[in-house]
Amino acid sequence: MKTLFLPFLALFSGLGLLMLGNALLGTLLGMRAVALGFPIEIIGVVMAAYFAGFITGALVCVHLIERVGHIRTFAALCAIASAATLFHILLDAPLAWGILRAINGFCFAGLYMITESWLNDRSENNNRGRILSIYMIVILVSSGAGQLFLLAPDPGGFELFSIAAIMIALGLVPVALTTSAAPAPHRADPMAVALLFKTSPLGITGSFASGLAIGSFWSMAPVFARMLEFSKASTAIFMLLTIFGGLALVWPIGWLSDRMDKRHAITLLCAAGAGTSLALVFIGVEFSPALMVLVTLLGGFTFPLYSISVAHANDFLVPNERISACSGLLLVYGAGAIIGPIMAGLIMGWMGASGLYAMDAGVLGLIVLHAVYRTQKRATIPVEEQDAVVIIPRTTHVAYENDPRIIHSGDWPKAHTSGSPPSEGSASGHNLG
């Protein structure tokens, strides 16, 4: 493991610092917005702007990388993201925050893309799956660790914004000092959503539901905690446990889903998630041991849904369609991540903090019904012929190029350098963490 990790130490160090700052900022903004008296419905729109910016960045940044190169683009995006973080202190209006969130989302899409391009370039076919797993672990562990900064200064001051900006700025240092040659940027044309839906309806709805649930968690869970007047320590633990549940249970659930029909796995996972969400609606009014257990379980039930939905869709695709299909599914996930915070904000404004988990219960319950329906409409593929579940980050399409399923199928993407003409309508996918 040491020999595997060391060549990527600079990249993973930079990524970890970026995620520390970004995760801290996301939680801090939700808490600060409630303290400033922003309407809950407006907070949902403001927080959703991050994912809108992310999708835009995932589509645009590949062209920016081609024009000026990986390191210059990385440096520029880090500087812009760090500055946008500090501007939140000076501009405490919802419209300004929405614009700043979109800018941050745009920047992080490009930062993820560059990091993933370097990982792909340095990986070998025999270690790409392990590198992808380490990448996922770094993202989740750093996101969880970012919550611990809430235990320090008052969220009402400027200190935490400064810490987030410092972490993002420092994330540039390991990459800027690397001696490795920059890789060529890769593109992937997203498969049309209509064709994807015709190919795998449950893959589409599962990806969309995952975006709704995960997007609303990152955006509105801090608002939930603030509405219920959780302390800073309780809020940090609440966020950390949900992330820990996703990290601890995502691989065991993926392993189990490989041993059954993916539709049954999605049914069971969403049913468990819906039941847990309903329990949170009724008991999640104060910080308690029961709440801690339930949010940990909910993280474990919701985080793997996207990966299992992708694996299910892959069962009905030929190998050379997989990267474009994954890019299309990421766009669907991103649409859910934009709509999720807005929907959660509206429901929370109507029924209170518990509306966050009421929305999760409703969304996951509908996926249960759809999965049962699809099980009856299409013949079962033997388990041994189904695509394996690979836990993949929801960042950009470039991460899929480390997916062992793509490598083993021979569907290896061809790089497009700045000197080669892009295919008509080509666009990068995205994956939102």
List, in sequence order, the alpha helices (H) in 36-190.
40-68, 70-90, 94-122, 128-146, 159-170, 172-176
For residues 178 and 195, membership in a common domain is answered with no
The H or E element containing residue 195 is: helix 193-199
Measured CA to CA, the distance from residue 84 to residue 396 in angstroms comes to 22
Q: Within a domain: residue 218?
A: yes
What are phi and psi for residue 43, nearest 5 degrees?
-60, -40
Q: Which of 187, 219, 251 is the last residue in one of the domains? A: 187
pLDDT tens per residue, range 372-421: 998 887 655 555 545 554 555 555 555 555 555 554 554 444 433 333 33
Same structural domain for residues 336 and 213? Answer: yes
What would the two tokens of residue 169 be? Answer: 């700025």
Which has more confidence, 129 or 66? Answer: 66
Please state which of the ranges 55-59, 119-123, 199-203, 274-278 shows the lowest mean pLDDT. Answer: 119-123
CATH of residue 355: 1.20.1250.20
- Domain match, 197 and 124 both: no
Structure tokens at 302: 């919701």
Which of the four pLDDT bands, split at 50, 70 and 90, describes residue 195?
confident
Q: What would the pLDDT profile of 224-245 be if each residue is shown by its tens digit?
A: 999 999 998 999 999 999 999 9
Encode 341-380: b = buried (16+ Cβ within 10 Å), e = exposed: bbbbbbbbeeebbbbbbbbbbebbbebbebbeebbeeeee
Q: Is 413 inside any structural domain?
A: no
pLDDT band at 120 (very low <50, low <70, confident <90, very high): confident
Position 108 scores a pLDDT of: 94
* In a shared domain, residues 183 and 237: no
Would residue 419 count as lying in a domain? no
| 104-138 burial: b if 16+ Cβ within 10 Å, else e | bbbbbbbbbbbbbbbbbbebeeebbbebbbbbbeb
pLDDT of amino acid 419: 36
pLDDT band at 307; cut points 50, 70, 90: confident
Kindly state the DSSP code that residue 230 receives in the 8-state scheme. Answer: -
What mean pLDDT do residues 108-124 have? 81
The pLDDT assigned to 354 comes to 94
Does the pLDDT of residue 428 top 50, yes or no?
A: no
pLDDT at 180: 64
Choice between 300 and 129, residue whose per-residue pLDDT is larger: 300
Per-residue pLDDT, averaged over 3-28, amounts to 86
166 plus 194 within the same structural domain: no
Task: Give the pLDDT of residue 135.
Answer: 82
- Are the C-beta atoms of 431 and 394 separated by less than 8 Å? yes
Which one is predicted more confidently, 144 or 128? Answer: 144
Cα(53)–Cα(101) distance, rounded to whole angstroms?
7
Same domain, 267 and 388: yes
In a domain, 26, yes or no: yes
User: So what's the pLDDT on residue 410?
Assistant: 47
**Is residue 153 in some structural domain?**
yes
Residue 416: per-residue pLDDT: 38
8 Å CB contact between 312 and 370 = no
Average pLDDT taken over every residue of the chain: 82
Closest CA to 332 of 425, 212, 186, 189: 212
Whether 170 and 196 map to the same domain: the answer is no
Mean pLDDT confidence for 96-108: 97
What pLDDT does 196 receive?
Answer: 81
Comparison of pLDDT for 6 and 88, the residue scoring more: 88
Element (H, E) at 259: none
Whether residue 268 sits in one domain with residue 348: yes
Higher pLDDT, 168 or 383: 168
Residue 183 scores a pLDDT above 80: no
The stretch 9-38 carries a mean pLDDT of 93
Q: How many domains does the chain have?
A: 2
The residue ranking higher by pLDDT, 25 or 418, is: 25
pLDDT of the residue at 137: 86
Which has the minimum average pLDDT: 66-75, 130-139, 211-220?
A: 130-139
Q: Are residues 199 and 64 in the same domain?
A: no
Q: Does residue 206 share a domain with residue 179?
A: no
- Report if residue 406 sits inside a domain: no
Cα separation, 31 vs 26, whole angstroms: 9
Domain housing 376: 189-400
The predicted model gives 66-84 an average pLDDT of 91
Q: What is the pLDDT of residues 260-272, one digit of tens each?
A: 888 899 999 999 9
The whole-model pTM stands at 0.84
Angstrom CA distances, 269 to 66, 143, 247, 308, 376, stand at 41, 23, 15, 10, 18
Give per-residue pLDDT as tens, 326-379.
778 888 999 999 999 999 999 999 999 999 999 999 999 999 999 999 888 765
Are 111 and 231 in the same domain? no
Q: Which of 384, 389, 129 is nearest to 255 (CA)?
A: 389
pLDDT score at 16:
93
Q: Which pLDDT score is estimated for 266?
A: 92
More confident residue, 183 or 301: 301
* C-alpha to C-alpha distance for 87 and 97, rounded to whole angstroms: 9
Residue 127 located in a structural domain: yes
Residue ending a domain, choose from 160, 187, 214? 187
Question: Do 177 and 230 belong to one domain?
Answer: no
Task: Tell me if 429 is assigned to some domain.
Answer: no
